[in-house]
Amino acid sequence: MKFYIPLLLLFYAVIPVSYAQQAKIITASDLIKLQHKEQKVQILDVRTLPELEAGIIKGSINIDFFKEDFSKKVLKLNPTLPVVVYCASGGRSAKAAEFLKLNGYSNVYDLQGGFMNWKKNGNPIVYIK
């Protein structure tokens, strides 16, 4: 019984910390509303260069999650402005958003379903050359 009490205390102490580091999940329609509501929203695309051929969300900044200089580049974003992160389907963006939160960015969103969901729902995309 004595073993379980410290274990439970540790469990309850860790949950709020890990939960606090998670970014808010945002839907495509929420992102559109946020863009209209906020004067400046940073939209971070963490996909690779070949993935960008499928298009991008207008106004997004691409910083490839797999590049060595990802952490250095991403920390150049303005920490006082909202950051919406997306990748192809949501895996990398969750990790990138968590990294931002751990580094003091407080207003971080993770686009639910990533670019594939954005495009599937008929939202506007831009093709780069």
Would you call 67 a catalytic residue per the annotation? no
What is the number of residues in the chain?
A: 129
Looking at domain 22-120, its CATH architecture is 3-Layer(aba) Sandwich (3.40)
| pTM for this prediction | 0.83
95-126 residue pLDDT tens: 999 999 999 999 999 999 999 999 999 999 99
What pLDDT is recorded for position 12?
A: 41
Element (H, E) at 18: helix 4-20
As to burial, measured by CB atoms within 10 angstroms (0-12 exposed, 13-18 middle, 19+ buried), residue 93 is buried
When pLDDT is cut at 50, 70 and 90, the band that residue 2 belongs to is: low
Which residue among 87, 96, 100, 108 is the active-site one? 87
The β-bridge partners of 126 are 56
Q: Name the amino acid, one letter, at 4.
A: Y
Q: Where along the chain do its domains lie?
A: 22-120
